[in-house]
Amino acid sequence: MDVFCRLAYGPDGSIYPSDEARLLAANGDAVFRMGSVADARYADLLGHPVAKLSAAAAYFGSRPRCSRCVWAAYCWISPAVHYAAQGDPWGRLQSSDRCAIQRGVFGLIFERLCDAAKRKTLESWLEYSGR
């Protein structure tokens, strides 16, 4: 997984690993700030401790609950989301609202993909979006 497919930038040029981290900073907690567009190079960002945390969190094998989850290949929750909700960037997934929502959404989508009529509807949305 490309951890930096979602870099986010604040109005002041600050760089964050996700939009969730940028929003957290906009609300007064810039713990996930990785640098500034004025002076950071991409190579610097790759070695930043926040980048390392994001990469480790992206690997579902590093989380026991995720490594056993059928939806792990489709799911990733930003460490900023866990930090904001639970005070810990790794999160406690057994009590994570975001984890419960993700599992529920994936379950519903795949359930509908198994029903021919509902699958046709979902596929029509892809056609509508230009894919």
pLDDT for 2-45, tens place per residue?
A: 445 678 999 999 999 999 999 999 999 999 999 999 999 988 89
The 8-class DSSP code of residue 74 comes to G
Q: Rounded to whole angstroms, how far apart are CA atoms 21 and 15? A: 9
Instruction: Give the pLDDT of residue 2.
Output: 44
Closest Cα partner for 14 from 26, 27, 3, 2? Answer: 26
Phi, psi of 106 (to 5 degrees): -60, -40
- The model's pTM is 0.77
What pLDDT band is residue 129 in, cutting at 50, 70 and 90? low
Q: Are the CB atoms for 106 and 72 separated by under 8 Å?
A: no
Phi, psi of 83 (to 5 degrees): -60, -45
Query: Residue ranges per domain, the chain?
Result: 3-128
As a whole-number percent, the residues of the chain with pLDDT over 70 amount to: 92
Q: Rounded to whole angstroms, how far apart are CA atoms 102 and 62? A: 18
Closest Cα partner for 67 from 93, 100, 97, 37? Answer: 93
Q: Which residues pair with 16 in a beta bridge?
A: 8
In terms of residues, how long is the chain?
A: 131
Query: How many Å is the Cα radius of gyration of the chain?
Result: 17
